[in-house]
Amino acid sequence: MLKLKTLAFTGLRPHKLPWGVDESQLACLSLKVDIRKRLILLIEDENVRRFISGMAMGIDQICGEIVLELKELYPDITLTAAVPCIDQEACWQQKQRDRYARILKQCDSVHIVSETYTNECMEKRNRWMVDNCDVLLAVWDGRPGGTGNTIRYAKSNGVEIILLNP
């Protein structure tokens, strides 16, 4: 029997995505379909059953929502929220906070990295996700930032990486 595997998501925030916050654009809709298809293959062929989302705006939440939708087809899969600090969403607009709360409420577990915001809490969250996954699905355009740093850390730790360009 195949070992149960864990997949973590990392990716760009809305201001770095070609569609920004408008997820109705074709590029975003196509990416969501691609991610969903890849997750189904990983669930069915690779025994991926646990998923981790960093819960940031953008790709983290998009992927979290896709996993939650897939739970209807695969009730044995789980979603863990890796939260960098308790008030991660405090400065977000209400619509963004509502989405965050809706996803968080449906997660099977929550891992909080820091009680309060620190300069390192996002990076510590990313490292925790990599340290606790077998596969990293990254949506990245090659620009410097947290996603690139997370990919490099995953590579240095021998984690399988699935790289998608938005």
The tens digit of pLDDT for each residue in 136-148 reads: 999 999 999 999 9
- Domain ranges across the chain: 5-164
Amino acid 53: pLDDT: 98
Amino acid 1: pLDDT: 64
Domain 5-164, CATH 3.40.50.450 — does that match?
A: yes
pLDDT in tens, 57-114: 999 999 999 999 999 999 999 999 999 999 999 999 999 999 999 999 999 999 999 9
Strand order in the sheet with 135-139: 109-114, 78-85, 48-53, 5-11, 135-139, 160-164
pLDDT in tens, 18-57: 999 999 999 999 999 999 999 999 999 999 999 999 999 9
